[in-house]
């Protein structure tokens, strides 16, 4: 029994962390239509910053080399991680969001993520290179001195508190005028621009908020696992978050959370009964990614709004009707494609 509840608590902690990251992506893609393929770059920035702020000074001659090692408490580490993610997103977004169309932005964010990955791996002095940092202290356990099992539940509580705060913020954003303008930007940038709004600045703010949430998720990941290395932020991880958001339902926070809970559970539990083949240890893991890829395509094909669709209220429905009316006279050819601009 204890084993099962322990296992459930581990899954729940990962679900909380994934939810935070996915909610961040939802603000970028779901609210504002920003195609960020560098989600895990920000998770990594958060994780490394947290680790470097909370670890003690590196011992000369020991197996790890890294900078800082400030030995600061959890809350400071978390705040530093959030700040680092926000600052990097601000710089990247300020140069990239203003000029680039969506597909170029996607390529730029992947390229940025790859450069970061190469630096994290090759610069051993920075954060121990390819081996990564380990031994990141468990938050508050210096004071609490809980058993392994109890600490797990304590950490679950901590993750839930942070998740609730994040959900509250995301819901606030969804309903606020700012959130409405973001969705208007997603639907039609030209219209918002014609009302005198600065599109680049709106998108930049959404990008920064999303990146801060991803970094907080990264910090929680490093705090829980106690380690982080470059193999934890390959491109596959980013697409995992994307799959979670799109399957759960983008544009609404509950869809994002559902996806973040469902996709990893399906991922780890759905293949539980497959036999493990010793000659190919990656078989199960690979098989899971095949399933994620299939789910992603099937969702886009048969239920593009995701499991929980975005709530469209009276005004939005009216707006959609207007758009349909407006678009009727536009000639549409046999493939149903309007003429490209």
Partner 1 sequence: MSILLLSIGFGLITASVIAIAGVGLSLQFGVTNFVNFAYGDFMTLGMYLTLILGTALGLSVYAALPIVIVCTGLAGVLVNRLVLDSFVRKGANPIILLISTIGVSLIIQSGLLAVWGAQFQKFSLGPSQPLHLGPFIFTPRQLSILGLAVVAMVVIHVLLRYTRLGKAMRAMSDRRTLARVVGINTTWLTDWTWFISTAMAGLAGVVLAINIASFTPSTGFGFLLVIFAAVIVGGIGKPYGAMLGALIIGVITSVAASYMDSAYKDAVAFGVLILVLLVRPQGIFASRGRG
What is the C-alpha separation between 39 and 111, in angstroms, rounded?
A: 12
Encoded one letter per residue, x for contact with partner 1 by CB under 8 A and - for no contact, window 33-52 reads --x-----------------
**If binding is defined by CB under 8 A, does position 307 make contact with partner 1?**
no
# residues near partner 1 by CB under 8 A: 53
What is the C-alpha separation between 227 and 54, in angstroms, rounded?
A: 12
**If binding is defined by CB under 8 A, does position 286 make contact with partner 1?**
yes
Residue 340 DSSP class: P
CA 80 to chain centre: 18
Task: Give the residue, chosen from 59, 95, 161, 164, that forms a contact with partner 1 under the rule CB under 8 A.
Answer: 95
Encoded one letter per residue, x for contact with partner 1 by CB under 8 A and - for no contact, window 129-158 reads ------------------------------
What is the C-alpha separation between 16 and 163, in angstroms, rounded?
A: 6
What is the C-alpha separation between 97 and 288, in angstroms, rounded?
A: 33
Closer by beta carbon to partner 1, 102 or else 198: 102
Torsion of the alpha carbons at 297, 301, 305 and 308, rounded to the nearest 10: -70
Encoded one letter per residue, x for contact with partner 1 by CB under 8 A and - for no contact, window 167-196 reads ------------------------------
C-alpha closest to that of 260 among 269, 271, 247, 277:
247
**DSSP labels, 190-246:** HHHHHTT--HHHHHHHHHHHHHHHHHHHHHHHHHHHSEE-GGGG-HHHHHHHHHHHH
**If binding is defined by CB under 8 A, does position 303 make contact with partner 1?**
no
Give the pair of three-digit tokens for residue 303.
């239920």
The nearest distance, CB 117 to partner 1, in angstroms, is 9
Closer by beta carbon to partner 1, 151 or else 239: 239
The nearest distance, CB 88 to partner 1, in angstroms, is 14
Chain residues binding partner 1 by CB under 8 A are 35, 95-96, 99-104, 106-108, 110-112, 114-115, 118-119, 121-122, 235-236, 239, 242, 246, 279-283, 285-290, 292-294, 296-297, 300-301, 304, 332-333, 335-340
């Amino acid at each position: 029994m204890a084993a099962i509840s322990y296992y459930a608590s581990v899954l729940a902690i990962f679900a909380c962390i994934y939810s935070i990251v996915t909610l961040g992506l939802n603000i970028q893609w779901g609210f504002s239509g920003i195609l960020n393929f560098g989600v895990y770059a920000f998770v990594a920035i958060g994780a490394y910053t947290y680790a470097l702020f909370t670890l003690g000074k590196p011992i000369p001659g020991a197996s790890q080399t890294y900078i800082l090692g400030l030995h600061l408490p959890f809350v400071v580490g978390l705040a530093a991680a959030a700040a680092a993610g926000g600052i990097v997103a601000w710089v990247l977004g300020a140069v990239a969001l203003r000029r680039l169309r969506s597909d170029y932005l996607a390529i730029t964010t992947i390229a940025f993520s790859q450069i970061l990955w190469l630096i994290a791996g090759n610069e051993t002095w920075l954060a121990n290179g390819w081996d990564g940092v380990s031994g990141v202290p468990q938050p508050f356990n210096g004071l609490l001195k809980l058993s392994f099992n109890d600490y797990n539940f304590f950490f679950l509580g901590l993750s839930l508190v942070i998740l609730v705060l994040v959900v509250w913020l995301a819901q606030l954003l969804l309903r606020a005028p700012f959130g409405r303008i973001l969705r208007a930007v997603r639907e039609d940038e030209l219209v918002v621009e014609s009302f005198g709004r600065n599109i680049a600045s709106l998108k930049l703010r959404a990008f920064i908020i999303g990146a801060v949430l991803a970094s907080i998720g990264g910090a929680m990941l490093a705090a829980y696992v106690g380690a982080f290395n470059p193999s934890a932020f390959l491109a596959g991880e980013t697409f995992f978050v994307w799959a979670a958001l799109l399957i759960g339902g983008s544009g609404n926070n509950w869809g994002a959370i559902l996806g973040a809970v469902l996709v990893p559970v399906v991922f780890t539990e759905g293949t539980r009964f497959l036999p493990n083949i010793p000659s190919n240890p990656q078989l199960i893991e690979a098989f899971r990614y095949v399933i994620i890829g299939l789910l992603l395509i099937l969702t886009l094909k048969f239920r593009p709004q995701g499991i929980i669709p975005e709530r469209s209220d009276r005004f939005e429905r009216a707006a959609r009707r207007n758009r349909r009316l407006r678009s009727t006279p536009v000639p549409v050819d046999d493939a149903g494609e309007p003429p490209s601009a």
